[in-house]
Amino acid sequence: MRILITNDDGISAPGLVVLEAIAKTLAGPQGEVWTVAPAFEQSGVGHCISYTHPTMMTKLGERRFAAEGSPADCVLAGLHVVMKDTPPDLVLSGVNRGNNSAENALYSGTLGGAMEAALQGVPAIGLSQYFGPRNYETANPFEAASVHGAALIARIFEAKVQSNNDYGLFYNVNFPPVPAAEVKGTRVAAQGLRPGTSFTAEPQLSPTGRPYLWIKGGDQHIPTAPGTDAAVNLEGYISVTPMRADLTAHDALEALKVIQ
């Protein structure tokens, strides 16, 4: 296999090292792993692309590039420039530092990279490692992803899920906030919503007296509805959520026809 990897935490992030090891296992001894990742952290950029300014790119080594842009930019660079003559069989994005379950998925640069690959017709998976008291301060907080990632990805593609929608599928995988040995298994789960939790803005004052603000996240350990992504993660399970870029609220189409 030829695999393209990217992330949103940046080219130097420890999660990218974990993803590279996962990708090498999947690619096999005759395969290739190519990296095109952001030169700087791009957390929270979602599916944005650098449409109005150039994206500078630097070759750092064999099959390894850093681009001054978003994860979606990196995927576009990988598919249309770096691997133009030898396109990848799979795009992997991550392993993100922190979960992309529930509403986090809507902001995630990790999933933005996977979404762009799906829009380009390439199978893609975004991978994220939930953090919590059971794993955050361990020697390897990414252990659950490191140990279980490659085998899980192989099982996803062995399932050969077919989509009847023009928008291709991509997958959101979140590893639970526990050591690898405590992972209970895998659950296919819908995206949930943490009740009463959202991003907020917190005003601050600089030493020079100028106002500024930080965007602040909510409590990540509030479970979503039973059986949905964050709920099963907090129960110790890996969540696998099939997604696509179609934002249509299909359940509202019929009711809205009264306005026609």
C-alpha–C-alpha distance, residues 52 and 248, integer Å: 27
**8 carries a ligand binding annotation:** yes
Q: Estimate to the nearest angstrom the gap between the alpha carbon of 33 and the chain centroid.
A: 18
At CA 67, angle to CA 108 and CA 103, rounded to 5?
A: 0
- The dihedral built from the CA positions of residue 199, 40, 46 and 236, taken in this order, carries a sign that is negative
C-alpha–C-alpha distance, residues 242 and 80, integer Å: 25
**251 carries a ligand binding annotation:** no
C-alpha–C-alpha distance, residues 17 and 37, integer Å: 12
3-state helix, strand, coil in the chain (%, to 5): 30, 25, 45
Q: Which residues are annotated as a binding site?
A: 8-9, 43, 96
Q: Which residues are annotated as a binding site for a divalent metal cation?
A: 8-9, 43, 96
